[in-house]
Amino acid sequence: MQKHGKEVRTNKKINNMEFTGIVKQILPIQEGVSKNGNQWRKLEAIIEETGVQYPQSIVVTQLGDTIDQQRLVKGRKVTAYLGFKANEYNGRWFNSVNCWKVDNLDAPPPVANPQGQQQAPRTHQAQQQIFPEKPDMADDLPF
């Protein structure tokens, strides 16, 4: 199915959609205990669409273990897989947009060395300290 030039994938159980954009903001994790005594956690994040003339933003919600397993990182380009649900409370209806999967599209961050510091690119001077040129080899070329 096409909507506004984008494909919306439909699952027979629930509607699903993919939304690609930059994570603009991550709100603090909310925690609590339900009426049944079960602990819950909820994280909300704002993702702004990319690659369009008039980008739109969406607030997505991650629940429970999904917060840790499908980590959202501010500034990263992601594809969020979304499920939708409507709830009624005191005669009013509310929509929720649940993010159940995240694909990070940016390159992974630089690998740190064992001391936890990032490896900086070596300069010419640093390379010469490791591999010093011998003065007699400078003009010893076969051509």
Question: 3-state DSSP: the chain helix, strand, coil percent, rounded to 5?
Answer: 10, 45, 45
| pLDDT more than 70, % of the chain | 64
Please report which confidence band the pLDDT of residue 12 belongs to, taking 50, 70 and 90 as the band edges.
very low
What pLDDT score does 95 carry? 87
pLDDT, tens only, 105-138: 886 655 555 555 555 554 445 444 444 555 555 5
Query: Does residue 89 or residue 136 have the better pLDDT?
Result: 89
What's the whole-number average pLDDT of the chain?
Answer: 77
pTM of the model: 0.62
How big is the chain, counted in residues?
Answer: 143
Q: What radius of gyration, in Å, describes the C-alpha atoms of the chain?
A: 25
